[in-house]
Amino acid sequence: MGISKSYIFIVLGIVAGALGGYLYWHYIGCVSGSCAITSIWYRSTAYGALMGGLAMSMFNPSKKGEKKND
């Protein structure tokens, strides 16, 4: 019982997005504190993780060759 290849891409996207979101907050961020997403580190990290997971789910290798048999 292991993780299938389709989930590996999504997990890698989540990790990369979370790292990117945190780095964005740390180096660029929002100085005034009025930004909804980038003013707090965990919001920026969570948003990056969500976007990374969604982006990598588009490149799901197991879905490319599948056909439905109706």
pLDDT tier, 46 (very low <50, low <70, confident <90, very high otherwise): very high
Average pLDDT over the chain reads 83
pTM, two decimals, is: 0.76
Q: How far is CA 3 from the centre of its chain?
A: 18
| Cα distances (Å, whole numbers) of residue 4 to 9, 42, 53, 59, 61 | 9, 28, 15, 14, 10
Q: For residue range 17-35, what is the model confidence (pLDDT) as tens digits?
A: 999 999 999 998 887 878 8
Q: What does residue 63 show for φ and ψ, rounded to 5 degrees?
A: -90, -15
